[in-house]
Structure 1
């Protein structure tokens, strides 16, 4: 469904013009909950209702059924809401559930939308009145989240926390796109895991996984190019291998020294000091802004070396 910018929205956008990104993470506004429900019905189809004339004798949409089954199993629940159909129960629950519960279901809905977009589902798409392409539905979900000031986006099927729209668009998304290529499955999983920890407030784990993703990206590039490296090589050793094999052009060596220094004393140092080693008797606290820095730094370096490798 096309997005129509009403006058009230244009007025609101004009008032916000020039204002820095401000997101919230502790509340999903009511309009966003309603909009996502409407997008879910467009992308997953009718939940099923007896005698409505649209389901051709089929009383239940099996994708909605599977999403409910997954959610109940993973959450260890018997049920979440009342209703005749799985989809109606899920959507009713999403009206008032917590932010974390809502985000869990949002991921499942996006997964279901992708499933319904498969070419083998053409008859289901017709029977359940599904409109539009899966990517368009997920793009609209992201648009509604941004529009509502909600600090999360769907990237690669996962919920990612957004601290800056500019950094997200210019750094995080390109990193995920590059890591979606063949041969980068390991670093991609680590990078997504880092964001998962960050969203959950597990900042020490987020820093550690971000550093792991960067190291794994170096190793994936070396494997693709047949460059030898030690299995347990640290970041400083990996940088030396990259320079020895001229991963970046010679004319960048001078300016690249600063980047090497950042790699050696920036993210790895954050990881070594605050995340990887034993925390001792007193638990170490890694602030959220340090975790955000680690994620953004890792992403920018991943983009740089992956592009250089091409």
Structure 2
């Protein structure tokens, strides 16, 4: 989805409340929630009429949970939640270590970029998806910039950005 230029955002810019220096230590809660929305829209949910015994979106979240859990030496990212989607989202929203938050974002968007993008038409046919991979990546990068968080997803990975000056 496109990033709207809301009245409140315009007013912040007019008052000079917008940061033009990137920071790298905090991923604000508001940005985390926006990332959850982007992931939810781009990974989607299984269409009820198309559903078989396979739930592709839930399998993606299981992959993210299992991959990061193994890397961190844990059995699960966080507690026992009803679905892997819930587990990944709760972890993304609650984790205090900023680098691990970025790990979730990078792995999720690598999956969207490398696995979903090449077969997106078929994936979107089988699943309820609101956002294609290009738009999801574009919105993620726009949200990073909007919150003055000095990262972007580029070339299949999260990289640091040094300046907002154009």
TM-score range, shorter chain: 0.7 to 0.9
Map Cα deviations across residues 228-263 of structure 1 (whole Å, 9 max, x no partner): xxxxxxxxxxxxxxxxxxxxxxxxxxxxxxxxxxxx
Coordinate RMSD, CA, aligned: 2.3
Point out the structure with the larger strand share: 2
* Rounded Cα–Cα distance in structure 1 between residues aligned with 2:48 and 2:109: 26
* Rounded Cα–Cα distance in structure 1 between residues aligned with 2:60 and 2:7: 37
Partner SS for 1:28: coil
Greater RCO, 1 or 2 (C-alpha within 8 Å, sep 6+) = 2
The yes-or-no answer on 1:10 pairing with 2:10 is yes
Residue in 2 that maps onto 1:126: 125
Map Cα deviations across residues 7-31 of structure 1 (whole Å, 9 max, x no partner): 00111122338x8722222211111
Point out the structure with the larger helix share: 1
Residue in 1 that maps onto 2:65: 68
Residue in 2 that maps onto 1:38: 37
User: Per-residue deviation at 1:87?
Assistant: 1.8
Map Cα deviations across residues 166-206 of structure 1 (whole Å, 9 max, x no partner): 3xx6xxxxxxxxxxxxxxxxxxxxxxxxxxxxxxxxxxxxx
In our comparison, the structure showing a higher alpha carbon Rg is 1
CA contact (8 A) 2:43 2:112 kept: yes
Task: Give the TM-score of the pair, scaled to structure 1.
Answer: 0.47
The yes-or-no answer on 1:77 pairing with 2:63 is no
User: Per-residue deviation at 1:85?
Assistant: 2.0
CA contact (8 A) 1:68 1:86 kept: yes
Gaps of 5+ in 2: none
Partner SS for 1:117: helix
User: Per-residue deviation at 1:58?
Assistant: 4.2
The yes-or-no answer on 1:56 pairing with 2:54 is no
* Rounded Cα–Cα distance in structure 2 between residues aligned with 1:56 and 1:29: 36
Is the alpha carbon distance of 1:123 and 1:22 closer, same or farther for their aligned partners in structure 2, counting shifts above 3 Å? same
The runs of at least 4 aligned residues of structure 1 exceeding 6 Å deviation read none
* Rounded Cα–Cα distance in structure 2 between residues aligned with 1:135 and 1:75: 29
* Rounded Cα–Cα distance in structure 2 between residues aligned with 1:55 and 1:101: 35
The alignment of Structure 1 onto Structure 2 pairs a total of residues equal to 161
Map Cα deviations across residues 132-185 of structure 1 (whole Å, 9 max, x no partner): 32121111001111111212111112111222123xx6xxxxxxxxxxxxxxxx
Is the alpha carbon distance of 1:2 and 1:54 closer, same or farther for their aligned partners in structure 2, counting shifts above 3 Å? farther
Residue in 1 that maps onto 2:152: 153
User: Per-residue deviation at 1:55?
Assistant: 6.2
CA contact (8 A) 1:65 1:86 kept: yes
CA contact (8 A) 1:32 1:145 kept: yes
* Rounded Cα–Cα distance in structure 2 between residues aligned with 1:88 and 1:54: 23
Task: Give the TM-score of the pair, scaled to structure 2.
Answer: 0.84
CA contact (8 A) 1:116 1:125 kept: no
CA contact (8 A) 1:23 1:149 kept: yes
CA contact (8 A) 1:80 1:93 kept: yes
